[in-house]
Amino acid sequence: MKDCVEIIADGQLIAVDRNITLLQALRDNGVNIPSLCFYPSLGGYGSCGLCVVEVYSSGNWLLRHSCLLYPEEGMQVRTATLLVQKQRAQAARLLLRRGPFHKKEVEEMLIALVQEGADVGDLLQKCDSAGAAGEGRAVPLIAGCILCGLCVRICRKVGKGLLTFLGRGENLRIGMVLGQKDDPCGNCRACRRICPTGFITPNARCTFTASLY
Ligand code: SF4
């Protein structure tokens, strides 16, 4: 393997390519790491928070986004500790607040992560499946978009750069770059194909033009 390094993942020595993200390297070796904002050709982004793992550094185990790290010789990683599960559960709860999602499998995956992270019921008491999925949450300005930024990044990658983040705080959303809303986007549908939640309608330009107002 080109540029091969050895890392220890959950006690197992594995050889991986140092040029791919730790997330991809772990997945290539059969380790199940959840993520919604990662796409191999676009690199890591760290927005969904689901891919956290523990990495040993200077005598401590630190929570890190595996999509933002690259394997190093001798790196030690833990992918399924209670701390990792709890952190993923917390990230999943925040993402669920942005639903409901067109792709129900996304909601189901997030609810499962919330449940996995609930030891002795401390999380689960406050956030059972129904609650996690919808009760009592603030409805975001654009329900169904998790603000993962994949559509923005793929739009740039295909050379258009017509999408961007607009607004701040609770009003943060994806929209067409200001001044571009009347221009044709080309309708290549790259953003629709990459969107993990199914938020983007067949006419992507309509989806994002609507969010300008
Ligand atoms: S529209 Fe889809 S791809 Fe774009 S930020 Fe929202 S969830 Fe991510």
- Find the CATH number of the domain harbouring 11: 3.10.20.740
Lowest mean pLDDT among 13-27, 31-45, 91-105, 140-154: 140-154
pLDDT of residue 118: 77
Question: The tokens of 146 are what?
Answer: 């998790």
pLDDT of residue 124: 43
Residues 52 and 101 in one domain: no
Residues 66, 95, 155, CA angle at the centre, nearest 5°? 70
Residue that is last in its domain, among 78, 104, 120: 78
Q: How many folded domains does the chain comprise?
A: 3
Between 187 and 20, name the one with better pLDDT. 20
The pLDDT confidence band at residue 209, using thresholds 50, 70 and 90, is confident
pLDDT of residue 185: 78
pLDDT of residue 134: 46
Q: Among 45, 50, 44, which Cα is nearest to 63's?
A: 50
Residues 17 and 73 in one domain: yes
Domain annotation covers residue 25: yes
List, for residues 79-105, the tens digit of each pLDDT value. 999 999 999 999 999 999 999 999 999
Q: Which residues contact 126 (CB under 8 A, 6 or more apart)?
A: none
CB 115 within 8 A of CB 124: yes
Query: By percentage, how much of the chain surpasses pLDDT 70?
Result: 84
Q: What is the mean pLDDT of residues 28-40?
A: 97
Q: Is 51 in the pocket of ligand 1 (CB under 6 A)?
A: no
Q: Is 85 in the pocket of ligand 1 (CB under 6 A)?
A: no
By CB atoms closer than 10 A (0-12, 13-18, 19+), residue 75 is buried
Kindly report the number of other CB atoms within 10 A of residue 119's CB atom: 12
Residues pairing with 175 in the sheet: 164
Domain annotation covers residue 187: yes
Residues 177 and 155 in one domain: yes
pLDDT of residue 131: 46
CB 115 within 8 A of CB 129: yes
Residues 200 and 159 in one domain: yes
Between 178 and 135, name the one with better pLDDT. 178
The pTM for the full model equals 0.86
Lowest mean pLDDT among 24-28, 110-114, 184-188: 184-188
Q: In the predicted model, is pLDDT for residue 182 greater than 90?
A: no
Tell me the residue range of the domain where 202 lies.
150-210
Q: Is 147 in the pocket of ligand 1 (CB under 6 A)?
A: yes
**Element at 156 (helix H, strand E):** helix 150-157
Residues pairing with 164 in the sheet: 175
Strands 52-57 and 4-9: unpaired
The pLDDT confidence band at residue 78, using thresholds 50, 70 and 90, is very high
Residue 198 CA: nearest ligand 1 atom is 2
Domain annotation covers residue 117: yes
Residues 165 and 110 in one domain: no
Domain annotation covers residue 144: no
The span from the first CA to the last CA of the chain, in angstroms, equals 51
Domain annotation covers residue 23: yes
What's the rounded Cα separation, in Å, for the pair 131 and 137?
8
Residue 149 CA: nearest ligand 1 atom is 5
Residue 207 CA: nearest ligand 1 atom is 1
From ligand 1's centre to the CA of 128, what distance in Å?
A: 26
Q: Is 199 in the pocket of ligand 1 (CB under 6 A)?
A: yes
Domain annotation covers residue 89: yes
What's the rounded Cα separation, in Å, for the pair 55 and 177?
38
Average pLDDT, the chain: 87
Q: Whose CA is nearest to atom 7 of ligand 1?
A: 145
List, for residues 117-173, the tens digit of each pLDDT value. 876 445 444 444 444 444 444 555 578 999 999 999 999 999 999 999 998 888 889
Residues 158 and 171 in one domain: yes
Q: Whose CA is nearest to atom 2 of ligand 1?
A: 195
Residues 27 and 69 in one domain: yes
